[in-house]
Structure 1
Amino acid sequence: MDKNATVTDRINEMLQHYGLNANSVTHKLGYATNSKMYKILQGTEPSFPTLVDILRAFPDVSSSWLVLGEGPMLLGETGGAVPAAEKKTTAGRAPVVNSGHVVAITVDKDGDDNMEMVPIHAQAGYALQHNEAVFVQDLPRYRVPGFEHGKFRAFEVAGDSMEPTLNHRDIVVCSYVDNWRLLVPDDIYVVVTTESVMLKRIRVRISGKGDEVVLHSDNPHRRPYPLDATDITELWRVRGYISTYLPSAPDVTVERLWEVIEALGFDKGEVRRHLMENATPNATH
């Protein structure tokens, strides 16, 4: 054990051991907002009442280890902690799967989480500095009706990979995915790595850090993109979007054609999928 480790270092080690992060431990401690845990994980020494809350929530953790740095982390142990990937939680469930990174946030004067917006020109910087409080502090902040409670972040859409569902410069409003095992298959996610910020559809849950994650585009001319789960630093689930794109009036002829297709007993979704899969590269879409 590092003799120079601080209480905040040991809290970070404890959370890694249990597969938790600031959001999930906030829920476990029963706090209304996660700002307290974010501050602790970024270096602020916890108060005595907070240490008591932690020890009550984690009865297996040694108070001597947490407060003084003496002895093993867990009561009854004589050695070091078991790596999180090999450890079950106290409830018997497999540990949470995520990057283990702390998500930097900003709060308003009332202590409520802000919704930061990441414009296209800031996304390269965000990929590298997403967990740095100074960088996040400089992002524009907004309030969006219906997204006042919880950890949300907005991202400006870049490119055409998700057309026709989402268009260039649309803004997606996302909720933070704390446990990758619980992502909703076939939903759209903002996938952050150290190299890029991508908007993709994920069709299969991530069961472990060793998984390969296949990222899908809604644009039929873009091929699926495989990515190692270990390369992902953040996942944000798209919950809504803001767009200045308004579709034109429906083509009456096309609508009538769809009615005929359905009247003949064909499934419209299957016909549409067949047309998209067999579209030529130069086809208008």
Structure 2
Amino acid sequence: MPESIKERTIEFVKYKGFSMKTFEQRCNLSTGYVTSMRKGFGPEKLNNVLMAFPELNRDWLLYGEGEMLKETIGNGTSSSAIVSDKSFRTYFKEENVRMVPLLNIDSVGGMHSSNEVGEYEPEFILDMLPFKGAIQGDVAIKETGDSMSPRIPSGAIMLLRRVMEWQEYFGYGHVFVLVLTDGRRITKRVTKCIENPREYVLCESINPAYPSEELPKKMIYSVWKVIDVLVHEGY
């Protein structure tokens, strides 16, 4: 068993039958990056590798645990992926499916709740999940809290797509994950604030136990529309 991340990377490249240059190009790494690597990949570089090769077992690459490749089942999804658990339900057929990175971060339904993963903790890819209709740039994260239940219960996985021109057109009435300037990530159905639509939006919960609240637009750093949801149904 190769003892270092560098040695395991080289073994994987040999297994794929690539030249090291080809591997580095596919992972958006500079030429010679792997051969000059000392300790391992930084978070961004590791994400590049796992996105380029979703079949590669992250635990094997980093720690030498398990097999080089993820065990595959059925239509090719990873047995270590959350959606391969039969207790998850998804709303796609096999056609037009794209693998999307599942990030380690979460979004909370409550306006005043804290995220499980704080703003200063590094983001990384936990796994690659299949979603129908996903496009380049989409990501998946977990929902925490019950203010968006039953539509998005705690523990559900959300497919997100960034809204680039939200300041010009928000698309009111849909559910979004809002990344705030203080680092929090909240999930809300966003509607127009009647009293002051230029400076505020109205954030609504699905769960009627949670009241609607106005949110200043200046507190919003970025906006991500919820495109699809994987729901855990239990056993």
TM value normalised by structure 1: 0.40
Higher normalized contact order (CA 8 Å, seq sep 6+, divided by chain length): 2
More strand by share: 2
More helix by share: 1
TM value normalised by structure 2: 0.48
